[in-house]
Structure 1
Amino acid sequence: MTDLDIDLVLVPVDGSEESHEAVDYAIAVANEYDASVHALYVLGEDVVRAIETGAIDEADVADDTESFTDSVIERAEAAGVPHGNSIAYGFSTKVKTVHPGSVVLDTAEDLDADFIVVPREPVTGGPVEVLEKAAEYVLLYASQPVLSV
């Protein structure tokens, strides 16, 4: 058995309760391996379309995600884990290959993440819970170890 060398744990989130649980697991993994954690807030199709049509302002969306991001920061700091965060569009009206799963994996590669903790959303989730379909995709195609919670 080989030891894992983990410097960065990526956790995609969408503001759901399952995302909060995934963050807790990601912080625990990062703490165990003396790594940092990065929360990627993935915006769903409805939100992306509303931004692109001007129905809502992108700055307002960033403000709305801030409370979730703040809770991630508080929990990471309480555990003494270095942290970062970002927001990404999990859908594109221009590029067919952009979906929540591909966005998570692209971000993992861009950040050189060593481990991914992905929330396993219930299939009955509402439209705000954009990661329900991404979990399976990430499990199938990630080159990093993945923990699905």
Structure 2
Amino acid sequence: MYDRILLPTDGTKGVDRAVDHAIDAANRYDATLHVLFVVDSDIVNAYSGDEFVDEAEGAESTLEDLGDVAVEDVATRAAEAGVDTVTAVIHGVPHEEILRYIDDEEIDLTVIGSKNRPGDYRRMLGSVTERVSRMSTAPVSIVKTTVSG
């Protein structure tokens, strides 16, 4: 039923439940698990400008390092469960890059975590999970985290 499952991760606390679900689904369907981290270009661009060049490069490098660790942690857990993985750390607007990855890699199912955020936060910034679930061409399984904030 599913040959390619995507797990977008931001590497934050609380993503473990989504990781567990994604690995379980990949194992159950003998699917390849794609693990994706998107370096948020909006964060990097917030430090743009001549006076912030060093800060922008530092933010970008820090986010890339966080992404490398996040995808490798999931890949290690998946390997322990006998699941094949593909990992990627890319740059862009998170929901746009996740949606592009779904289409480009012909993903059959996306498993994505969702944090409990206050209403004002969600209205102001939106939700990557909400946008992906609304706009994806493939099924999306949303896994609620136990961590709020």
Structure 1 counterpart of 2:7: 11
| AA aligned opposite 1:82 | D
| AA aligned opposite 1:113 | I
Structure 2 counterpart of 1:27: 23
Q: Could you tell me which of 76, 79, 83 is aligned with 1:77?
A: 79
Unaligned 5+ segments in structure 1 are 92-99, 125-131
Q: Could you tell me which of 94, 97, 100 is aligned with 1:106?
A: 100
Structure 1 counterpart of 2:43: 46
Mapped pair 1:37 → 2:33: yes
Unaligned 5+ segments in structure 2 are 119-125, 144-149
Between the aligned partners of 1:107 and 1:140, the Cα distance in structure 2 is 15
Q: Could you tell me which of 115, 118, 123 is aligned with 2:117?
A: 123
Identity fraction in percent: 29
Between the aligned partners of 2:92 and 2:32, the Cα distance in structure 1 is 23
Q: CA deviation at 1:59?
A: 4.6
TM-score, normalising length: structure 2: 0.76
TM-score, normalising length: structure 1: 0.76
| AA aligned opposite 2:116 | P
Bigger CA radius of gyration: 2
Question: Which structure has more strand as a fraction of its residues?
Answer: 2
Q: Is 20-29 or 107-116 further displaced after alignment?
A: 20-29
CA RMSD of aligned residues (A): 2.5
